[in-house]
Amino acid sequence: MTTIINHCAILDIDIVNDLYSDEVPSLEPVTPVEVELAINKLNTGKAADEFNISSEHFKVGKSVLVPYLCDTFTDILDSRTVPDSFKSGILTPGVEEG
């Protein structure tokens, strides 16, 4: 009986270790097609961000930016961390008439 309980305890510990392991499966890299599709879906005519970058910059510079954006987003997925610069933005209140 003690052997069965010990075996079950070891299995429980293995399950918990697997759940909280630092070894996470790697994700597929972000592809140029995915980045280009996302850039194509950006709305134009909107305000620029805090770095004065607008969607038009991405659309015009797509051919140059796509490889760098793929690497950046793949690194974010691999590290499971988002850079602080991606977490900030500008909120501009809109005034509606009426």
Cα–Cα nearest to 69, from 13, 15, 30 = 30
In this prediction the pTM is 0.67
Q: What is the pLDDT of residue 26?
A: 75
Q: In this predicted structure, what is the pLDDT of residue 86?
A: 83
What is the pLDDT tens value at each position of the chain, 98 positions in all?
556 665 555 656 666 666 666 666 778 999 999 999 999 999 999 888 888 999 999 999 999 999 999 999 999 998 888 888 888 877 777 787 76
Question: Tokens in use for 16?
Answer: 């918990």
pLDDT for the residue numbered 22: 62
How far apart (Å, rounded) are the C-alpha atoms in residues 75 and 24? 14
3-state SS class at 4? helix
Residues 6 or more apart whose CB falls under 8 angstroms from that of 50 comprise: 88, 89, 90
